[in-house]
Structure 1
Amino acid sequence: MKPIALLFSVSLALTGCVTTDRPVNENRAVVDYMNLAKGYLQEGYSERAVKPLERALEIEPDSASVHGMLGMAYQRQGEDQLAQKAFNRALAIDPDASDIRNNFGAFLFSRNRLQDAYRQFELASEDVAYSQRSRTFENMGIVALRMGQSSLAVEHFTRALRLNSNLPRANLELAAIYKEQGNLYKGWQHYQTFDEAAEQSARSLLLGIELATANRDQSKAAGYALRLERLYPGSMELKQYRSRLGHE
């Protein structure tokens, strides 16, 4: 499929979720160690998270949840081999752990292993009981975009929004795709939903200016332009916007 030719840079970062989606059956000490590690990870202290997780594994060496969280800790330290080993161990213990598959997929995506990441998200998306299933479809859409498969991306983003209509990323990417395809009204609809639910970036503000202008909402276009000037004064998007103004 033909890649989308966007006029602005596309940031396709994915992050794993520190929380777990399944009941934890470990004893109280293991749960306490996991909560301590989770707190360290959420505060950005990944190196401190390893020790309590190792202590938890001394008590429950076959805990998929602990191995999965250890994978995230190693990932954030840039220890790729240790991270993959921990994720693989977690999924060997519990192949149905959709939350761990989602986190593993985010790790693989961050290392540009797109096909492998897509497969992990795909497996997680098959779990109809997974409470973050909409995110896995959104993640699959992001991977499809990176691979230049825009039609597949639309399919996944649309599926994600059927499960959760307020996903900011899915709405933003669909707005960009539909704009490039010339469906400016549909792109504007998705953009407005995005605008109500998420913080704006330079990229999204430029897209908002373009879609608002195309749909003759000059008030919104002016508002986005002012925010782009104020919030991102040195951005490439602002330079692009000013360049276009000079040619109008």
Structure 2
Amino acid sequence: MLTKRIIPCLDVKNGKVVKGINFVGLKEVGDPVELAQKYYEQGADELVFLDITATHEGRDTMVQVVEQVASSIYMPFTVGGGLKTIEDIKRVLRAGADKVSLNSAAVKNPDLIAQGAQIFGNQCIVLAIDAKARDDQSGWNVVIHGGRIDTGMDLLEWVQKGVSLGAGEILLTSMDTDGVKQGYDLKMLQAVRNITNVPVIASGGCGSLEHFAEVFETDVADAALAASLFHYDELSVQDVKVYLQKKGIPVRL
């Protein structure tokens, strides 16, 4: 049985790690290099680094931070935010990232997924999707630009398209549960799980050890991503893994 992965997430703005609720009210929580080292020492399986307000001006800053983080940890490391071209992808991979996360740019130019997968391999392309439940609860819409623009695209249709183009993994964030700490959006994760065979990373809403267990016991995700719980030292990665192992969930200690 494949071990389940625990992935801390660093949302970075202007070179600092920040955290908000439902994508707003961002507060600075620390230095990305220091936090990356902390999570590596705690036994994280991977790290996700998202430049959440990526702009052209901030691009060089991000590459420098990626280089600093990559040289201080020895675990798979995914970088996303503002990657719009193959050249952008090359730049962060050269700086030390193992995978790239494509979100808004992939929605605007789906061919970027196909080109990226062809050049760097499917395993390198993570399709990051932020989704929000429709008012009539008939499903979920894909939202881009850090939660600011509802595309009107159906989540499940986009997942199927992204995977068919070559995405090797789905990083799925529920905007409805993000930062609320009431648990992952199991219903949404299950709907995605039912239609794809690539690994799914659950993101948005984890607030306790039980929430980690729940997402794996219901088998709606292969990995669980969390941010504020780890940033504020409410839990360590090691705490989570020891708890999951006691519950009979396979993890790498």
Q: TM-score higher than 0.5 here?
A: no
TM-score (normalised: structure 1) = 0.33
Higher strand share: 2
Q: Which has the larger radius of gyration?
A: 1
TM-score (normalised: structure 2) = 0.33
Higher helix share: 1
